[in-house]
Amino acid sequence: MNLTALYRWLLLGEWRAHWIRVMVALIAIAVGVAMAFSIHLINTAAFNEFAAASKSLSGQSDLQVHGRKALFDEALYPLLANYGGVALANPVLELDVAVPGKLQNRNDHKLKIIGIDTFRAIQIAPDLLGLPEEGKTLDRFASDTIFLSPAAMEWLRVKQDDSLQLHAGLEVITLRVAGGLVRARAGQRIAVMDIGAAQWRFQQLGVLSRVELKLQDGINHAAFKARLAEELGESYVVTEQLDHEKRIANMSRAYRVNLNMLALVALFTGTFLVFSTQALSVIRRRHQFALLRVLGVTRQQLLRQVALEGMILGILGSLSGLVLGYTVAELASQFLGGDLGSNFFPGVKPSIHFNPLIALLFLGIGIVVTLMGSIIPALEAARAKPASALRSGSEDTAMAKLSAPWFAIGCLAVAILFTQLPPVFELPVFGYLAISLLLIGGIALMPHFTAWFFSVFLTYMPKKHRNTLLILALARLANAPNQAAIALGGILASFSLMVAMAIMVTSFRISIDNWLGQVLPADLYVRIVTSGDQGGFEPVAQQAIVVLPGFTRIDFFRVQQLLWDPNRPEITLFARPVDRADPRNTLPMTDDMLAPGSIPDDVMPVWISEAIADLYGYRVGDKITLPIAATASEFLVAGVWRDYGRQFGAIQMLLSDYQKLTGDLRINTAAMWLKNDVTMEQAVDVLRQLPFGPALEITRASDLRALSLEIFDRSFAVTYLLEIIAVVIGLLGVAASFSAQTLARVKEFGMLRHIGVLRRQILALLAAEGGFLTSLGILLGFILGWGISLILVFIVNPQSFHWTMQLYLPWRWLFAIAVILFISAALTALLSGRSAVSNQVIRAVREDW
Amino acid sequence: MWIKHSTSIIACVTLFFSVLGIEVSAESGRLKPVTPDYNLSFPVDFGAHDDFRIEWWYITGWLETEDKKPLGFQVTFFRYATEQNHDNPSRFAAKYLIIAHLALSDPAVGKLMHAEKSAREGFDLAYAKPGNTEVKLDDWTLVREENGRYQVDMQADDFGLQLSFTPTQMVMLQDQKGFSRKGPKPEQASYYYSEPQLSVSGKVFRHHKHVVVSGRAWLDHEWSTALLDSEADGWDWVGANLDDGSALIAFQIRRKGGGKVWSYAALRDGSGNMTFFEPDQIEFTPIRTWRSPQTDAIYPVAMRIRTGEFEWLLTPLLDAQELDSRQSTAEVYWEGAVTITKNNKPIGQGYLELTGYVKSLTL
């Protein structure tokens, strides 16, 4: 007989007999690969699309000059145009303008308008040229025209020649849609206007957002950039396209990495499942393999046999995983958007691209992971001496080698060590490593812990509670812990991850809820719908608000974006009244602040968010310079406040200091406290009756709060999804390992039946074993999960998003999940036991000898 | 030569004025019509005229390198009033556009090299100043000095010019003392003067090297608010410096479907005596055509022109002098250096412009 035929027989025979388990293993691999692959696809597509869209706005410029603040004086433009080495200077005014009728969606009511000089832009960003009706080229220079991308037209429900209303400061202006931007990217929602028209109509006379430069041939870009940056001084920033891409990458990196980590967790759980399936299948076939060895099959041939099984499983599972992953990515990006509902990449409609190389990589990962799960038990099977392996009861020793206690303890120790290490490239690499080591160590420790725990339990169990079945179950768990540990591992892995995520999300949500209460103390928040950085309320309008009846207190805010470091996203600068003596009355301070009342009178204090402290390395008591006014001014860091709203950092300063430094008296938000006898409706009415009433965006603090939490929940939707998948994989693992185990113990059950144990009693025995095991799994899973949640809350979150939070445990939810898990695991154990105690009693015993 | 301008304008600014006729000018309160009673006065009229829709300065000529190789060149600056944004206080408000064309014909290259630029007036980066000829578009400049000499400095990516033009004769007022009719209706006209027989010296840049050149050139300055008749299909125009010091100008505006809408021709001898020809005395006859491989347009690149009793034969310096600006703007025309022959003797050099051969011009 030739060996190939033998391999085929062995393989097909095994799979035909245990096809359910094979299917479970396949599903586990497929789900793991699919998760990882789809998250990768969605992230990459969203990121690429976002980068491409923002690149298409800046065209093929060599350098860009920005102000530190969003807008700067246009006088710089002719200077740059005439600067030696500059071939072309392209002035751009970019505005985010509110659209009347879209205001109900607070996060999505703005249209990006790019003001360009057609003749300059055509040479640097030709995609931004509007296509007017034939013969109406002058529409490109007109002051009442606007060109819209297809996506913008669809969003605004207008077409060529329609009129379009937009908010401009306190007024609403009407423009004519003169044509399309045919080369805008799919889904990119932008509008283009003449730069002179945009300056005039949107009340931005004399300012620009940026000047894009094309350099003459043969100019050294780096040297030019350095020279120009030095000449322009502190108030301006010179960047390359590369810097821009870096900034975008920086912006979403933490988010992307964290999602990828979650995907890896799914893959990890899948691996563990494959491992347990394969390990048990090998153990069950020890006799078969030993027999083959005796018949002359070599170790290598046996090894090849098992590896082949794993290989085929891996290929089939990973391939279906790729298909599944691609489908999920397509669906998710269609229904949830490219950022999976988290608003990380606004206004982007990515299309998923199939990259064969990446697909191959994930296929490889899936196969390797499956092979690893198969090879380890296969090595053991091949190494075993045929004589002892043929003997019954050797299964448990087979697993012993896989779980040396020093390995487990080493993993746990290193994990604890890793929690003390700083982030790498601003990513919590060691935090994630610590989590996986905790998981691995925890699972590897299980056999020993199980044996120890149940022997102790057995020894100290009160005599009166003892009955045969209980003792049998406990004895089994105490003395053959390795097989039990495999089932336990599945429960442990999925439950601990679930616990960890639940604790993390709950802590985060409650912390945010508390924080919202602190940062939104007023009753009403009023701003001008265009707002953005173009501060809306002139002093006259402020005065009109101040004299309104019905309010006890009104605070004005000037909020704007500030480009502090060209390589990083912009930070947010708040200028507002702050209680100088004790900022805790105004801001959600951390404990890190100067003692109340200790700020000297002659310095200007600022309060920085945790992100600023982390990213820019400033500490309380440091002196910092901010490029706010024409000349940079020095401030004292008086404290650190908690900010969940702006991941890239925010700084609070006194409005009076800001106005003194800049002379900019406009503000964009008013926080208003109502008098006791005034209702919300009355207050809103009073505001609406102002001359500029219709242009106001009036929000109740309670609405803001609800909205913020809604956004929070939406951005964690994908987390919940991943969590559910982890649970399902975990339960699949429990089912697989229990059924494998009970099948492997057919002989044992046969024996029990022969000495008079009833079938019903054997089932009770199995249920008891399952129950004990699951209880232990849940208990340990909780401890492990709690440990992991500590890492998530106190290491991963601060390191990737630069905010800290308090720990809160969702007891009720955890208890419910524990009960569900307990019941389903015991049921699984019972169900899979039924087949083992069916009609095979005689055969089972005979087979033994 | 006004024709040339309109073409290029069309080309450059992509046909805003599809209906650039009486209606437009009648409606535009801000812009003035061209009337026969205006007397051109210098130096003021060398400068820009913001009250008119369109204006151009156009210089063509033949150059000779030190090793006696011939080159042709064309330089044009347009000023165009958008008639918009006059109430817009922004410094970017596009009230006037400045457009420039630069072309070089070199038989050694075998085809026309050309470049163009456009910008809105403002920030002192682009302007056309009143009072004297002073036009700037980024680093392209055309300036008339106090002594009447013009300086042109224009660098494109791979070629450029730096030339000065010294007048050798007085200004040549076209048609009725500078009031130049373009069609059957009296308002279809422009103010138009030329400076023929300019003596040229300077440098031509190619491949990052320069060659010293000298030669003769022809300058046109023309401004108007209303131009073409709606029946017009295109035009043929020639302006030539003859070796005996006289200057020849002739143009015809072709009618859609054949025939002509208008024509004009004048000959001024070296001592300044003008001879005008009536439209029925002027006749353009194609002698040889050239098919453009890019556009498939067929141009009558060699032409016989009869003005009264004279017959002039025009022979191109090279055939491929088509200016194809469809990529950036839209229009295609042929603008080329030609040699003038009379009675089988070469008697001068000039530029021939042929427009409307790809499709009807919508001016």
Residues near A406 by Cβ (< 8 Å), separated by ≥ 6? none
Tell me which residues of chain A, numbers 111 to 130, contact chain B at a CB-CB cutoff of 8 Å: 117, 119-120, 122
Residues of B in contact with A129 (CB under 8 A): none
Question: What does the DSSP assignment read for B29-77?
Answer: SSSPPP-TTPPP-TTGGGS--TTSSEEEEEEEEEEEETT--EEEEEEEE
Please name every residue paired with B180 in a beta bridge, in sequence order, or none if there are none. B190
Q: What is the mean pLDDT of chain B?
A: 85
CA angle A126, A128, A131 (to 5 degrees): 95
Domain ranges in chain B are 2-355
Domain ranges in chain A are 1-57+243-391, 69-233, 399-517+703-849, 532-667
From A90's Cα to the closest Cα of chain B, the distance in A is 11
Which pLDDT belongs to residue A743? 65
Q: How many CB atoms lie within 10 A of CB A101?
A: 10
Residue B204 has pLDDT above 60, yes or no: yes
Q: How many CB atoms lie within 10 A of CB A230?
A: 9
Which pLDDT belongs to residue B250? 94
Q: Hey, which of A442-446, A703-707, B12-16, B197-201 has the most confident mean pLDDT?
A: B197-201
pLDDT digits (tens, 9 = 90+) for B286-342: 999 999 888 888 999 999 999 988 999 999 988 888 887 665 445 678 988 999 999
Which pLDDT belongs to residue A849? 38
Cβ of A141 within 8 Å of Cβ of B328? The answer is no
Which pLDDT belongs to residue B11? 34
> In angstroms, what is the C-alpha Rg of chain A?
33
B8 against B49, higher pLDDT: B49
- Rounded Cα distance between A313 and A31, Å, is 13
Provide the 3-class DSSP secondary structure of residue A812: helix
Which pLDDT belongs to residue A348? 58
pLDDT band at residue B5 using 50, 70 and 90 as cut-offs: very low
Which pLDDT belongs to residue B127? 94
Helices A241-284 and A356-383 pack at an angle, to 10 degrees, of 30
pLDDT digits (tens, 9 = 90+) for A134-145: 778 788 888 899
pLDDT digits (tens, 9 = 90+) for B128-149: 999 999 999 999 999 999 999 9
CATH-assigned architecture of domain B2-355: Beta Barrel (2.40)
Picking from B311, B288, B314, the residue whose alpha carbon sits closest to that of residue B299 is B288
In a mutagenesis test of the B interface, which of A114, A122, A137 is the best target, namely the one with the most B β-carbons within 10 Å? A137
Touching check for B18 and chain A: CB below 8 Å?
yes
Which pLDDT belongs to residue A392? 53
Check if the beta carbon of residue B235 is closer than 8 Å to that of residue B249. no
Which pLDDT belongs to residue A514? 83
Which pLDDT belongs to residue A389? 61
- Rounded Cα distance between B222 and B5, Å, is 9
Lowest pLDDT segment from A68-77, A144-153, B24-33, B245-254: B24-33
From A195's Cα to the closest Cα of chain B, the distance in A is 7
C-alpha distances in angstroms, A691 versus A170, A527, A537, A558, A667?
A: 9, 14, 12, 21, 17
Lowest pLDDT segment from A290-294, B2-6, B68-72: B2-6
For residue B268, the number of C-alpha atoms closer than 13 Å in the C-beta half-sphere is: 21
DSSP A792: I
pLDDT digits (tens, 9 = 90+) for B114-131: 888 889 999 999 999 999
- CA end-to-end span of chain A: 27
Picking from B183, B193, B254, B184, the residue whose alpha carbon sits closest to that of residue B47 is B193
Which pLDDT belongs to residue A2? 66
Please name every residue paired with B338 in a beta bridge, in sequence order, or none if there are none. B316, B350
Query: Residue B15 is nearest to which of A78, A135, A206, comparing CB atoms?
Result: A135
Touching check for B156 and chain A: CB below 8 Å?
no
Check if the beta carbon of residue B305 is closer than 8 Å to that of residue B312. yes
C-alpha distances in angstroms, A249 versus A253, A567, B166, B319?
A: 6, 10, 60, 54
- Rounded Cα distance between A620 and A607, Å, is 9
Cβ of A77 within 8 Å of Cβ of B119? The answer is no
Residues of B in contact with A119 (CB under 8 A): 97, 117-120
Residues near B354 by Cβ (< 8 Å), separated by ≥ 6? B234, B236, B299, B300, B301, B333, B334, B335
- Rounded Cα distance between A295 and A287, Å, is 12
Cβ of A200 within 8 Å of Cβ of B89? The answer is yes
Burial of A811 (0-12, 13-18, 19+ CB in 10 A): exposed
Which residue stretches of A461-480 are H helix? 468-479
Check if the beta carbon of residue A77 is closer than 8 Å to that of residue A509. no
Which pLDDT belongs to residue A369? 76
Positions of chain A with pLDDT lower than 50, given as ranges: 531, 847-849
Residues of A in contact with B18 (CB under 8 A): 135
Picking from B11, B73, B113, B45, the residue whose alpha carbon sits closest to that of residue B200 is B73
